[in-house]
Amino acid sequence: MKLENPTAIQWNFSQRAQKLQSSAIREILKVTMRPDIISFAGGLPSPATFPIAEMQAAFDKVLSQQGKIALQYGPTDGYGPLREWVANRLSTADAKIDANQVIMVSGSQQGLDLLAKVLIDEGSKVMVETPSYLGALQAFSMYEPEYVSIPGDEGGLIPEQVAELGQGARLLYALPNFQNPTGRTLSLERREALVEICARMGIPLIEDDPYGALSYRAEPLPKMLNMNPNGVIYMGSFSKVLTPGIRLGYVVAPRPLIEKMEQAKQATDLHTAQLTQMVVYETVKDGFLDKHIPTIRKLYSDQCDAMLAALQAYFPSQATWTKPEGGMFIWVTLPKHIDSAKLLAQAIEHHVAFVPGGPFYANTPETNTLRLSFVTVPPAKIREGVEILGKLIATML
Ligand code: PMP
């Protein structure tokens, strides 16, 4: 029997839930999904790079040969052979990574949430870059830290500022390669300094690196993980090198932290889907990524060049922007008085979208900034969209 006219529930959300807000980007994405919009807003990888045939073959093989394992519950720390593969791929001659230092997670976004769960108390000092990845700020904010914003410049965040501002912090969250949102890269000297300073202060250094493989130059800079595996927590993801839809990432950390994260993950989702882990292992185990990643780099690098050329041609000289050496994003700084959220409202009327910079700041937002993604838009459309934005900015000078 279905109850007639039940009283509507007055939802009594937890104090934590009352503070939640939807990500500014996810809201904008709803608008930018419209086919008539040239969208530089998404953080989405280009679907042209998804290896559909290879993954279909891997699904078929895993299901036909190991279906009973793939469709069963699995261990919380992940599928053993894939953990082994991750550990080998991240090991260097003088810094071996062991598979038991790896936990597989349901997208590195879950890794951020688990790290926050086990490391942050209300009021804990948490160091983040200025600006930083919005999804990390969302994950951390759930546990109500006190943010310490670490300033940066063209060479990424400034290590000396960590020494000055970070006393007593629970962690430092850093994005060394082609940072989201700025596209900046942390120089080798600064990586070494940062690792050294954090080790001296006894502060865990989170190295979030979903874009590291997408370097447009031959050799990416060394990982901070390999400079100090005892003090650096490394986060990787298959989202930007295979597909984000499989929701698969990994965290590499010293054993005591892995054990705590495992306990937290049991409460969250028991484990990451065994089927997708086995399919990804089947896809990557014989070197597929070494052939596949260069095709992604080429596509993104060409589109990055197209956007840089368009910015040079169409943006007023009062604007400045970063020149990424990899990844997916360019960060634009406009004259101080221009509010990029207002610019966005006008841009959408002209069928162009981007993400305003304000939400990427943990503390004081710089509202004259914006993030442009060049990976899902072909060069001719990049030029068209940037020209429209350039004209709108010129009217606001
Ligand atoms: N970290 C950064 C810096 C990102 O840009 C993203 C995705 N946009 C993530 C983590 C989350 O990635 P995943 O798809 O692995 O959850």
Burial 207-225 (b: 16+ CB within 10 A, else e): bbbbbbbbbbeeebbebbb
Give the up-direction half-sphere exposure of residue 392: CA atoms within 13 A in the CB hemisphere.
23
What is the span of the domain harbouring residue 32?
A: 17-49+290-396
Whether residue 86 is found in the same domain as residue 38: no
- Supply the residue whose CA is at minimum distance from atom 5 of ligand 1: 180
- What total of structural domains would you count in the chain? 2
The CATH number linked to 275 is 3.40.640.10
pLDDT, tens digit, 9 for 90 and up, residues 101-127: 999 999 999 999 999 999 999 999 999
Would you place residue 35 in the very low, low, confident or very high pLDDT band (cuts 50, 70, 90)? Answer: confident
Whether residue 94 is found in the same domain as residue 136: yes
| Residue whose CB lies within 8 A of the most ligand 1 atoms, among 239, 243, 252, for a mutation test | 239
Identify the three-state secondary structure at position 197.
Answer: helix
| Residue whose CB lies within 8 A of the most ligand 1 atoms, among 23, 50, 109, 112, for a mutation test | 109
Would you place residue 24 in the very low, low, confident or very high pLDDT band (cuts 50, 70, 90)? Answer: low
Handedness of CA 371, 375, 377, 381 (dihedral sign): positive
For the whole prediction, is pTM greater than 0.90?
yes
Contacts of residue 251, Cβ cutoff 8 Å, sequence gap at least 6: 102, 103, 105, 108, 111, 114, 115, 233, 234, 235, 258, 261
Partners of 234 in the beta sheet? 207, 252
> How many C-beta atoms lie closer than 10 Å to residue 113's C-beta?
23
Looking from the CA of residue 238, the nearest atom of ligand 1 is 15
C-alpha 297 to ligand 1 mean position (Å)? 18
Would you place residue 146 in the very low, low, confident or very high pLDDT band (cuts 50, 70, 90)? Answer: very high
Whether residue 174 is found in the same domain as residue 200: yes
Give the separation between CA 265 and CA 188, rounded to whole angstroms: 34
Residues 303 and 375: beta-carbon distance below 8 Å: yes
2 domain residue, yes or no: no
pLDDT, tens digit, 9 for 90 and up, residues 320-341: 999 999 999 999 999 999 999 9
Average pLDDT over residues 253-278: 98
Would you place residue 286 in the very low, low, confident or very high pLDDT band (cuts 50, 70, 90)? Answer: very high
| Ligand 1 touching residue 274 (CB < 6 A) | no
